Amino acid sequence: MTTNYGNLPQTNLEGDDVVIVLRPKKKDGVWTGLYDIIQSVVEPSTLAGKDAYSVAFTGLLMALLPQYLSEDEDFNDHYIEYIFAEHADLVEQLLEKHNLVKDMLQGFTGKLH
């Protein structure tokens, strides 16, 4: 599995890629705190049966995670702790990119809701 964050070069999508779009909902140009989440499998598909299902279902799990986290505060806390512990480098890059390092040092927990 490859995990990247930052300004990546344009990526050419390939058949069987699963694309998840996280679209912030805005009202009068201001984010409402909500998202539209769109999942799609890029055509042409070369996978079939269980293989196609497995890839698409993994994408579905990823796409529905924000909704689940908003509904289960204990799991949300556990998941954020996991991300901070196991992927600290990615969290640090994200905080630096958005100038939140100072906020983090002052007690920002990573939660936005």
Q: What is the pLDDT of residues 48-87, one digit of tens each?
A: 999 999 998 998 998 888 888 889 999 989 998 898 889 8
Total-model pTM: 0.64
The SS3 call for residue 51 is helix
Phi, psi of 71 (to 5 degrees): -95, -15
The SS3 call for residue 48 is coil
DSSP 8-state symbol, 4: -
Q: What is the pLDDT of residues 1-57, one digit of tens each?
A: 555 555 556 678 888 888 888 888 999 999 888 888 888 888 888 999 999 999 989
| CB distance 71 to 53 below 8 Å | no
List the one residue out of 82, 81, 109, 85 whose CA is nearest residue 95: 109
